[in-house]
Amino acid sequence: MTDVIATNQTILVVGGGISGMTAALEAAECGKNVVLVEKNPSLGGRVSQLYRYFPKLCHPICGLEINLRRIKQNPRIRVLTMAEVTAITGGEGDYSATVKLAPRYVNENCTACGECAKAVDAEVPDAFNYNLGKTKGAFLPHKMAFPQRYVLDPSIIGTADADKANAACKYGAVDLDMKEETVQFKAGAVIWATGWKPYDAAKIQPYGYGRYSNVITSVEFERLADIHGPTKGKILRPSDGKEAKNIAFIQCAGSRDENHLRHCSRICCMASLKQTNYVREAYGDAGKSTIYYIDIRAIDRFEDFYQKVQKDPTVSFIKSKVAKAVQDEKTGDVVLHGVNTEGYHRYATPHDLVVLAVGMEPSVKGANIPAEIVSDSSGFIEADPSNHAFFGAGCASNPLDVNRAVQSATASALRAIQVVNRVARVEG
């Protein structure tokens, strides 16, 4: 990379999650212009959907608020939300990017007062809460959304609800005539920080996700526990709204499996260990968490956290690959069947709720990437010379926890900065 002489100093960052924000900030604070492109209506990505970080169990506001403030204050960062890169041409040091902007139907006059949402009757699936509930057809993506602007769902455009939203706005922020736009710009390097998506649990047939309402994923459980989530922080099972006090956590749901994801996603064990704390917080000694595991991978400093959970009398560990799950039609309980490999005892154990610790799949996998990018067998972007000035950051490059994703993003920003320096070899 040090031989590249760039003709354009701008760095394109694709993806506005914690990795994309970090990469954009690192580059901008080193004096480079950055275009940050995010397909969703706001920045934050998966981290904004967490209830707590591990191991300190603090709210994501701890990290996001600081980064969002830095982005707002940095004139070198241009943020494009509801945006998708559709074409990239050229070569390292001199790329041309085409970005499609979907209409928000709300302009920059928005004060986030919420009057448009009050006026709208229609409801749409709440994507931020993994469709566990509904939200108004005029909505603010979440409490910390940046930009702090409402969005009108396309489904209400042309209906009476859209007119109601327009009439309710005192600031002329609702713009029903917004159209899809296309913008183009030059960039010297591209950082691909498109993050990850939960593996489709419906593909793991023995566990019954999608067939049994009381089988959910770990990311959905995260939203249930959040006071800003669909149940206001109450851990209620979907079938009947009953408090779920006896909860099973199944590890490696789709991970380390030749039929699904071959790789270890590295965060699943810690996510479940963290979530047992949610159960204790909600129910105290009356709550019960059971972790079904192959092995527990608590990497580095997280071993202490694992040992702490082990000492909790409300948490049990069963070394087993669960064979199947069956939901009792009368009680709604989910009965797990398998063999405890420590002693080889068969079990058929009922639980109020089953949480699948689903694996991490790179969002870039299967996506229509407008450039040739070398990836590994799991779809993660490799650090390959043939990728030229395309760099993977965060979970686009590896399954990573938040801390390591930030480190990866910093490294990617430094590589991109090398490319866009006029003569990078001078630095070396």
What are the pLDDT digits (tens) for 262-276?
999 989 999 999 999
Per-residue pLDDT at 427? 42
Preceding amide of 60 cis, omega within 30: no
What predicted TM-score, i.e. pTM, was given to this entire model?
Answer: 0.93
| Three-class SS of 96-118 | EEEEEECCCCECCCCCCCCHHHH
Alpha-carbon dihedral 259, 371, 184, 186, rounded to 10 degrees: 130
Reduced DSSP (H G I as helix, E B as strand, rest coil) percent helix, strand, coil of the chain, to 5: 30, 25, 45
**Average pLDDT, rounded, for the chain:** 92
User: What is the arrangement of strands in the sheet containing 83-91, beginning at the earlier edge strand?
Assistant: 83-91, 94-101, 181-187
Classify residue 140 as exposed, middle or buried by CB count within 10 Å of its CB (0-12, 13-18, 19+).
buried
Say how many CA atoms lie within 13 Å of 119 toward its Cβ: 20
pLDDT in tens, 144-168: 999 999 999 999 999 999 999 999 9
Picking from 41, 100, 87, the residue whose alpha carbon sits closest to that of residue 190 is: 87
Per-residue pLDDT at 272? 96
Per-residue pLDDT at 367? 64
For residue 316, report the phi and psi dihedrals to the nearest 5 degrees.
-115, 150
Cα–Cα distance measured from residue 102 to residue 38, given in angstroms and rounded to the nearest whole number: 11
Residue 343: band (very low, low, confident or very high) from pLDDT cuts 50, 70, 90: confident
pLDDT in tens, 47-72: 999 999 887 888 888 788 999 999 99
Per-residue pLDDT at 425? 46
Per-residue pLDDT at 148? 96
Cα–Cα distance measured from residue 80 to residue 76, given in angstroms and rounded to the nearest whole number: 13
Residue 62, number of CB atoms within 10 A of its CB: 11
More confident residue, 299 or 31: 31
For residue 394, what are the contacts with CB-CB under 8 A and spacing of at least 6? 15, 17, 18, 19, 20, 22, 193, 195, 400, 405, 406, 408, 409
SS3 at position 339: strand
Contact 251, 293 (CB under 8 A): yes
Domain ranges of the chain: 11-102+180-195+363-426, 115-168, 199-360
For residue 358, what are the contacts with CB-CB under 8 A and spacing of at least 6? 198, 199, 201, 217, 218, 219, 253, 254, 255, 268
Pick the CATH number of 11-102+180-195+363-426 from 3.90.550.10, 3.50.50.60, 1.10.1740.10, 3.30.70.1350: 3.50.50.60
Which conformational region is residue 252 in: left (phi greater than 0), alpha (psi within -120 to 50 degrees), or beta?
left
Q: Where are the alpha helices (DSSP H) in 50-96?
A: 61-73
Contact 190, 420 (CB under 8 A): no
Alpha-carbon distances, residue 222 vs 200, 308, 356 (angstroms): 17, 20, 12
Contact 79, 71 (CB under 8 A): yes
Amino acid, res. 117? A
Residue range 199-360, CATH number = 3.50.50.60
Beta bridge partners, 336, equal: 325, 349
The answer to which of 24-28, 199-203, 296-300, 304-308 has the lowest mean pLDDT is 296-300
Task: Over range 380-390, report the average pLDDT.
Answer: 87
Contact 278, 51 (CB under 8 A): yes
Picking from 159, 118, 147, 158, the residue whose alpha carbon sits closest to that of residue 135 is: 118
Query: CA angle at residue 219 from 348 to 268, to 5 degrees?
Result: 70
Residue 15, number of CB atoms within 10 A of its CB: 30
Domain 11-102+180-195+363-426 shares a fold with domain 199-360: yes
Question: Among positive and negative, which fits the CA dihedral 231, 233, 237, 241?
Answer: negative
